[in-house]
A and B are shown apart, each in its own frame.
Chain A
Amino acid sequence: MFQKLLKLLDKIYPAEIVYAHCDVPCGIYETGSMLTAAETMGKMVEKMLALEYPGDDAEKEPWLAYKNSLVRMILEKEEQGEICKKELLILWTDYFKPEHLKMFPNLHETFWQAAKLASKNKQNVSLEAVLELKSALRKIDGMFKAAEASKK
């Protein structure tokens, strides 16, 4: 009875979700996904910058074609930015352990900055921001490889 009441209450006034997911239950970690996501974001920025503006008084057809291409590129960049942030979160919270802080005292700051840069790339259309993100991700890739090598 109480559970039914709770579920009804949840429908009227939904309880906040708290996640207990196993992001990588198999224990396999990699950096390729976030690097590819950043590369794709970079390609989208290049394409957006190269996209020819049809002009304010353009005919409907070229104007729609321009808008359609632009929106598709924005959506792709947005999606890849989310992938990048998600992959960073998995590595940060699941892969790296307390003992890694000895190897990388700036681990938290590095991840925080990289996540911020992923957001910056979602907010902007900037090749400079893409380079900053790639550089931050390469740093994390280096930390990941060093941590993996230390296991052997």
Chain B
Amino acid sequence: MLNLYKVSGNSMNPALNDGEYILSEKLSYLFTKPKVSDIIIFKALGDKNLVKRIKSEKDNQYFVEGDNQGFSGLVDRKLILEKLLFKI
């Protein structure tokens, strides 16, 4: 239920920095919906896992964005895998 990831890239600066390790969990999303301001890990096209923050939600479509505005896009609920617990 807990996963260790290494962050690659800077779009989540200053919350997460390139090369940092984070711990995430998937249990809470089995019982509750992801909510605005959650930092999530989701599956993108090409089987890459991305980490972004939820900015808004409508009809199970989540609008996610990097904290430094470099990235934004829509993610379907089914593609959201885990919630960030904390960085190590």
Contacts and interface: CB of A to CB of B under 8 A. Distances in A.
B5 A15 contact: yes
A23 B12 CA distance: 13
Interface centre among A85, A98, A108, A115, by most chain B C-beta atoms within 10 angstroms, is A98
A80 B61 CA distance: 30
A22 B70 contact: yes
A20 B46 contact: no
A62 to B, nearest CB: 38
A152 interface: no
Interface stretch (A67-75, A86-94, A143-151): A86-94
B48 interface: yes
Interface residues of B, number: 37
Contacts, number: 101
Given A88-B45, A92-B45, A20 B18 contact: yes
Interface of A: 2-3, 6, 10, 14-23, 25, 85-86, 88-89, 92-98, 101, 108, 111, 115
Interface of B: 3-12, 16, 18, 21-22, 41, 44-46, 48-52, 56, 58, 61, 63, 66, 68, 70-76, 88
Given A20-B7, A97-B72, 16 more contacts: A15-B4, A18-B50, A19-B49, A20-B16, A21-B10, A22-B68, A25-B70, A86-B46, A89-B44, A89-B46, A92-B45, A93-B44, A97-B73, A98-B56, A98-B58, A101-B74
